[in-house]
A and B are shown apart, each in its own frame.
Chain A
């Protein structure tokens, strides 16, 4: 396993574009801290976003994993191109001739994907911990380490998404087209989602129950948007006479759906590679 990771690391290490994208990605995650400095005046009173409780434990776990997940596209580009470049440089062929099996090849890519997801999670944990310790109103141990399941959800979500990208890279063989395909897939899911919601199952939860099984949607709903959960927003909503009753929690079956998608994408990548003549 270490050998496979070492091989993949060697391939990425010397690629300038991969290095730039990965570095940008991690720097951007640390930029979440900059939200703290946002200030705006509202009818004479000065608001500081940091004071609105977004960096309070345990809410910060939810908030940060949601915000950080939007940056995943940077790594998606790296992953798609690390797959499709093997095709366009025909190095995949050479790797196999040199004595890598197709299984090892897919495994080395998948391990890298998991590595990226794990690294992001650890990095996010550290950034959030530092931010929280500096701004949170509560710093008791038991509070700091509650609601950690958001990080687990973040990890599963990234793994699933990156594996999807990996599969698209194998399927389409050209990085630009694979990213285009990802976008088209997202539009398709949105259209079906919209149709189900507004046309076929108006009202009720049938539409939700169906779309939660779609690959991108299942990843998207793992960590729901945290903004409406803020005290300030909640209070404002109550004053306007509407009530949020949203489920922000992480559910095991949602995690399971994404894990199953991950397994399917890994298997499909392998099956595709096995079937193809190079």
Chain B
């Protein structure tokens, strides 16, 4: 598989604060990656380093297997970080033309990309007259101008109203559908969960996890159980070898699995021991629960 970006032990210190610590991961072509982390975890700094606007303290990174200088590699990248930055006195089309000049691509695609983000009718309006949502959409159009190998989005829905968020998400899903590699940094989990295949989780600049979203947690899921005799249920569960931690919650129990087990097997086991369940639900942790679990494990 073609590698687009490799990070090796990347570290960034701002004075006494270490914003990014020994971070290593690889971005491969065709996947949609999410970088997850609470606010201030070093997501934007990491992206700033690979995008040539923040100087690294140590370690290194490589675009496209290191065959090109960073600034030339960036011509094949589309990126939006934090808020959209354009020249306020130029119109949308003029701003995009400038980007074409910098990226050394032909300006033919301006209209096409403006159409994707729904700004074609505003192409001759000055940038300073745009709302935040429109500015953000223009930024996406600008990032798409060179038909990038990878699209990097840093908190693309930050500060938008629900309608704006929805529009941006739709655009991202549309682009992901075309097979473009995407790297999406966010602290909004459902955003990542909806579009990403792979995820990198960082906290305080350290990597906690990187890999597929569905392989993120080694856990085999958990059962939510209810029965009239809750004490007997707890005793029976304790005896079962496949069940690990049991957490009582109001009038039901949450039993975490040590190894894979089907609900039928559990139901049969309990029934054979004379217990009838009133509720049996098998669930996997949502990304949010997994994320919280991961981040808490380290702090505990």
B246 touches A (CB below 8 Å): no
Size range of the chain A interface in the assembly: 20 to 34
Residues of B within 8 A of A14 (CB): 87, 89-91, 94
Q: Is the CB–CB distance between B54 and A97 below 8 Å? A: no
Which residues of chain A (3-25) have a CB below 8 Å from chain B?
3, 6-7, 10-11, 14-16
Q: Is the CB–CB distance between B53 and A278 below 8 Å? A: yes
Q: How far is the CB of A186 from chain B (nearest CB, A)?
A: 30
Which residues of chain B (50-66) have a CB below 8 Å from chain A?
51-55
A268 to B109, CA, bound (A): 38
B98 touches A (CB below 8 Å): yes
Which residues of chain A (261-278) have a CB below 8 Å from chain B?
274-275, 277-278
A52 touches B (CB below 8 Å): no
Residues of A within 8 A of B85 (CB): 89-91, 93-94
A104 touches B (CB below 8 Å): yes
* Contacts known (A3-B104, A89-B85, A93-B85); A99 close to B74, Cβ less than 8 A: yes
Q: Is the CB–CB distance between A99 and B103 below 8 Å? A: yes
A190 touches B (CB below 8 Å): no
A15 to B91, CA, bound (A): 11
B194 touches A (CB below 8 Å): no
A96 touches B (CB below 8 Å): yes
The one of A10, A93, A102 that contacts B98, using a Cβ cutoff of 8 Å: A10
Q: How far is the CB of A253 from chain B (nearest CB, A)?
A: 38
* Contacts known (A14-B89, A89-B87); A97 close to B74, Cβ less than 8 A: yes
CB closest residue in chain A, given B14: A277
Q: How far is the CB of A222 from chain B (nearest CB, A)?
A: 35
Q: How far is the CB of A1 from chain B (nearest CB, A)?
A: 13
B88 touches A (CB below 8 Å): yes
CB closest residue in chain B, given A101: B71
Q: Is the CB–CB distance between B54 and A277 below 8 Å? A: yes
A98 touches B (CB below 8 Å): yes
Q: How far is the CB of B107 from chain A (nearest CB, A)?
A: 11
A235 touches B (CB below 8 Å): no
B79 touches A (CB below 8 Å): yes
Q: Is the CB–CB distance between B102 and A99 below 8 Å? A: yes
A130 touches B (CB below 8 Å): no
Q: Is the CB–CB distance between B101 and A6 below 8 Å? A: yes
Q: Is the CB–CB distance between A11 and B98 below 8 Å? A: yes
A14 to B86, CA, bound (A): 13
* Contacts known (A277-B55, A278-B48); A100 close to B71, Cβ less than 8 A: yes
B97 touches A (CB below 8 Å): yes
A146 touches B (CB below 8 Å): no
B-facing mask of A57-96, CB < 8 A → 1, else 0? 0000000000000000000000000000000011101111
Q: Is the CB–CB distance between A99 and B54 below 8 Å? A: no
A101 to B71, CA, bound (A): 5
The one of A7, A93, A275, A277 that contacts B102, using a Cβ cutoff of 8 Å: A7
* Contacts known (A95-B102, A100-B102); A277 close to B53, Cβ less than 8 A: yes
B-facing mask of A221-257, CB < 8 A → 1, else 0? 0000000000000000000000000000000000000
Q: How far is the CB of B50 from chain A (nearest CB, A)?
A: 10
B242 touches A (CB below 8 Å): no
Residues of A within 8 A of B74 (CB): 96-99
B99 touches A (CB below 8 Å): yes
Q: Is the CB–CB distance between B86 and A94 below 8 Å? A: yes
- Residue among A6, A14, A15, A102 having the largest count of chain B Cβ atoms under 10 Å: A14
B75 touches A (CB below 8 Å): yes
Q: How far is the CB of B99 from chain A (nearest CB, A)?
A: 6
Q: Is the CB–CB distance between B48 and A11 below 8 Å? A: no
Residues of A within 8 A of B129 (CB): none
The one of B53, B72, B86, B97 that contacts A97, using a Cβ cutoff of 8 Å: B53
CB closest residue in chain B, given A103: B71
- Residue among A7, A91, A275 having the largest count of chain B Cβ atoms under 10 Å: A91
Q: Is the CB–CB distance between A275 and B55 below 8 Å? A: yes
Which residues of chain B (254-293) have a CB below 8 Å from chain A?
none
CB closest residue in chain B, given A10: B98
Residues of A within 8 A of B142 (CB): 98
* Smallest CB-CB A-B distances: 5 pairs: A99-B75, A101-B71, A99-B74, A90-B85, A94-B85
Known: A91-B85, A104-B71, A277-B48. 15 other contacts (CB 8 A): A7-B102, A10-B97, A14-B90, A14-B94, A89-B85, A89-B86, A90-B85, A93-B81, A96-B52, A98-B103, A99-B104, A100-B102, A101-B70, A275-B55, A278-B53
- Chain B residues engaging chain A, CB cutoff 8 angstroms: 14, 48, 51-55, 69-75, 77, 79, 81, 83, 85-91, 94, 97-99, 101-104, 142
Chosen A-B contacts, 29 in total, with CB atoms closer than 8 Å, are A3-B101, A3-B104, A7-B101, A7-B102, A10-B97, A14-B87, A14-B91, A15-B89, A89-B86, A89-B88, A90-B83, A90-B85, A91-B86, A91-B87, A93-B53, A96-B52, A97-B51, A97-B52, A97-B74, A98-B74, A98-B103, A98-B142, A99-B75, A101-B69, A101-B70, A102-B52, A275-B55, A277-B14, A278-B54
